[in-house]
């Protein structure tokens, strides 16, 4: 048992810090620190900066242009990035589609699509959920019918994050409805400019519209955009969920969030003293911090195992549940800390809404973030689904 990082890992951390100190634009970090939206151009700029360093795709093998970091290196990068208020990368192409293409895609699909993800030519979004297929994703109904050298796609996807920026969407579609649900699903790549596609924004409770409905009406998709084999799409989607979950615990976000809570609570006065000195509030912060310290080590234990080559099992469900509970608790502390100044409407998702914020402690849009981050325990397999997996694997014999 040794809790310290190796010399190589420490040196790597220094390298990451030096890079972030030098290359992360100050105004970009400030935008993230204030909890504001970076926007499409800002995201693309950050991707280009990382790409120039060769660090845009930390999880990709070198042969595809990735950094091929191990799990510990990725963890170190994520920690430092969160501490420096670096933006997150957009995961849809980089860490959701790419691993599927690398494992199941054809050579020509890999050669064509992967470089375009790195260069930023394509912005991908994900077409999984449907109005009737949320937690029960395998019940999806969007149909793709083969006609000659095309598929004709009809149906509706929903909760498509940043679909408004995307020029490409990877979709799970039904190609056979006469077999067991999971066995009639295929994985298709669809150009968003194809006639018959309509993107409708969904306004969320924080006023933003980061998610969309995507409607497909007789959309023609060339058969070469099928990934892997027809009707094997569920296997590919599951591969993604079990093997490529990076940063699922959100430790870096939680740490940055706790720092922000303490900053607000030092500035906010309560009974003539800084709120941070209030025993009830301090106790709440301490409990969250204690939980985070333990969860961070659970996360590292899983990461070390993964770095040694073991496939993460039920543990990834465990840290998804605990990680999101802790992040949401920290969001709750931030809104509590801000007191009456949590009330004004400000949102990371609504441009300009923060400028009007009168808050003297620059707490930022803490209440909007609290509400927006209710999504953490809903998306990517809700916490109820994760608990079901844990129960099934540990008590139900597992599959």
Partner 1 sequence: MNFDLTEERQMLQDSLRRFLRDKYDTATRNKILESDSGLSTEIWQGLAELGVIGALFTEDQGGFGGAGFDLTTVFEELGRAGVVEPFLDTAVLAGGLIADLGTEAQQAHVEEIIAGTLQMAFAHGEPTSRYDLNRVQTSAKADGDNIVLNGRKAVVVNAEAADMLVVSARESGDAGDAEGISLFLVPADAKGLTIQGYALLAGGRAAEVTLDDVSILASARLGAAGKAASAIEARVAIANVALCAETLGAMETATALTKEYLMTRKQFGRPIGTFQALAHRMSDLLIELEQARSAVINAAGHLEGDDRQRDLHVAAAKNLLGRAGRMVAEDAIQMHGGIAMTQEYELAHIAKRIVMADHRFGDTDHHLERFIALSAA
Stretch that binds partner 1, among 11-19, 95-103, 169-177, 266-274 (CB under 8 A): 266-274
- One of 13, 116, 266, 375 touching partner 1 (CB under 8 A): 375
Taking the complex as a whole, how short is the minimal distance between the CB of residue 357 and partner 1, in angstroms?
A: 7
Can you tell me the distance from the alpha carbon of 6 to that of 124, in angstroms, rounded to the nearest whole number?
37
Establish if 128 lies at the interface with partner 1 (CB under 8 A). Answer: no
Q: How far is the CB of 337 from partner 1 (least distance, A)?
A: 10
What is the spatial distance between Cα 370 and Cα 73, in angstroms, rounded to a whole number? 30
Spatial separation of the C-alpha atoms in residues 123 and 164, rounded to whole Å: 10
Residue numbers 151-180 binding partner 1 by CB under 8 A:
158-159
Please name the helix (run of DSSP H) or strand (run of DSSP E) that holds residue 157, with its range, or none.
strand 150-161
- Decide: is 374 part of the binding site for partner 1 (CB under 8 A): yes
H or E element at residue 113: helix 107-119
| CA 317/CA 274 separation, integer angstroms | 38
From residue 275 to residue 294, what is the string marking binding to partner 1 with x (rule CB under 8 A)?
x--x-xx--x----------
Taking alpha carbons only, the member of 332, 337, 331 closest to residue 269 is 337
- Choose, by CB under 8 A, the member of 345, 362, 380, 392 that binds partner 1: 345
Number of neighbouring beta carbons within 10 Å of residue 311: 9
**234's tokens:** 């569920």
Residue 36 Cβ, how far from partner 1 at the closest point, in Å? 16
Which range binds partner 1 by CB under 8 A, 14-22, 63-71, 203-211, 314-322? 203-211
Binding mask 296-335 for partner 1 (x = CB under 8 A): --------------------------------x---x--x
Looking at 1-9, 82-90, 147-155, 269-277, which segment touches partner 1 (CB under 8 A)? 269-277
> Residue 145 is inside which H or E element, if any?
strand 143-147
Environment class of 317 (CB within 10 Å of its CB; exposed 0-12, middle 13-18, buried 19+): buried
139 lies in the site for partner 1, by CB under 8 A? yes
Q: Phi/psi at 318 (nearest 5 deg)?
A: -65, -45
With CB under 8 A as the contact rule, the residue among 36, 268, 315, 348 that binds partner 1 is 268
Q: Are 172 and 189 in contact (CB under 8 A)?
A: no
Within residues 100-119, the interface with partner 1 by CB under 8 A covers: none
Window of 17-25, 70-78, 271-279, 298-306 that interacts with partner 1 by CB under 8 A: 271-279
Residue of 145, 203, 290, 294 that binds partner 1 (CB under 8 A): 203
Number of C-beta neighbours around residue 367 at 10 A: 23
Q: Which one of 342, 349, 389, 390 is in contact with partner 1 (CB under 8 A)?
A: 342
Among 42, 120, 313, 344, binds partner 1 (CB under 8 A): 344
Of the pair 246, 382, the CB lying nearest partner 1 is at 382
Give yes or no for residue 352 binding partner 1 (CB under 8 A): no
Contact between 213 and 199 under an 8 Å Cβ cutoff? The reply is yes
Q: Which of 9, 183, 244, 289 is catalytic?
A: 244
Which run of H or E residues covers position 216?
strand 211-222
141 near partner 1 (CB under 8 A): no
Active site residue 130: no
Residues 6+ positions from 379 with CB-CB distance below 8 Å: 159
For residue 278, the minimal CB distance to partner 1 (Å) is 7
Interface residue with partner 1 among 31, 102, 129, 225 (CB under 8 A) is: 129
Q: How far apart are the first and last CA of the chain?
A: 32
* Nearest one of 144, 130, 158, 142 to 225, comparing CA atoms: 144
Rounded to whole angstroms, the Cα distance separating 275 from 279 reads 9
Question: Should residue 368 be labelled a site residue for partner 1 when binding is judged by CB under 8 A?
Answer: yes
Distance from C-alpha of 312 to C-alpha of 275, rounded to nearest angstrom: 41
Which residue is listed with tokens 């050298």? 149
Q: CB 375 → partner 1: shortest distance, Å?
A: 6
Could you say whether residue 356 binds partner 1 (CB under 8 A)? yes
379 DSSP assignment? S
Whole-angstrom distance, CA of residue 20 vs CA of residue 247: 19
Residues in contact with partner 1 by the rule CB under 8 A: 129, 132, 134-136, 139, 158-159, 202-207, 211, 268-272, 275, 278, 280-281, 284, 328, 332, 335-336, 338-346, 356-358, 360, 367-368, 370-372, 374-375, 377-379, 382-384, 387-388
Would you please indicate which residues are annotated as catalytic (active-site) residues?
244
């Amino acid at each position: 048992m040794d809790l310290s990082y190796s010399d190589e890992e420490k040196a790597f951390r220094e390298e990451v810090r030096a890079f972030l100190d030098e290359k992360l634009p100050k105004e970009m970090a400030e935008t993230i620190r204030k909890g504001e939206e970076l926007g499409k151009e800002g995201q693309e700029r950050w991707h280009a900066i990382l790409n120039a360093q060769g660090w845009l795709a930390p999880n990709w093998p070198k042969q595809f242009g990735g950094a091929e970091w191990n799990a510990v290196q990725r963890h170190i990068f994520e920690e430092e990035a969160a501490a420096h208020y670096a933006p997150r990368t957009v995961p849809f192409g980089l860490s959701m589609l790419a691993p599927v293409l690398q494992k199941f895609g054809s050579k020509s699909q890999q050669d064509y699509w992967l470089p375009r993800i790195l260069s930023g030519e394509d912005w991908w979004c994900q077409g999984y959920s449907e109005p009737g297929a949320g937690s029960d994703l395998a019940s999806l109904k969007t149909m793709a019918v083969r006609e000659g050298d095309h598929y004709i796609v009809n149906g509706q996807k929903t909760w498509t994050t940043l679909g408004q920026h995307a020029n490409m969407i990877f979709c799970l579609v039904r190609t056979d409805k006469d077999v067991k649900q999971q066995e009639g699903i295929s994985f298709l790549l669809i150009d968003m400019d194809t006639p018959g596609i309509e993107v409708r924004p969904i306004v969320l409770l924080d006023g933003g519209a980061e998610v969309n409905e995507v409607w497909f009406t007789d959309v023609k998709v060339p058969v070469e955009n099928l990934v892997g084999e027809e009707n094997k799409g569920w296997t590919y989607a599951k591969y993604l969920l079990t093997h490529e979950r990076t940063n699922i615990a959100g430790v870096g976000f939680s740490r940055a969030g706790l720092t922000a809570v303490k900053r607000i609570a030092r500035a906010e006065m309560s009974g003539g003293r800084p709120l941070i000195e209030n025993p009830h509030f301090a106790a709440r912060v301490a409990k969250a911090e204690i939980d985070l310290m333990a969860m961070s080590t659970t996360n590292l234990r899983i990461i070390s195992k993964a770095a040694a080559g073991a496939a993460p099992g039920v543990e990834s469900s465990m840290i998804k549940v605990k990680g999101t509970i802790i992040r949401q608790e920290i969001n709750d502390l931030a809104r509590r800390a801000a007191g009456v100044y949590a009330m004004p409407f400000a949102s990371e998702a609504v441009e300009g809404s923060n400028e009007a914020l009168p808050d003297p402690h620059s707490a930022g849009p803490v209440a909007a973030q609290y509400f927006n981050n209710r999504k953490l325990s809903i998306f990517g397999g809700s916490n109820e689904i994760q608990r079901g997996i844990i129960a099934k694997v540990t008590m139900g014999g597992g599959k």
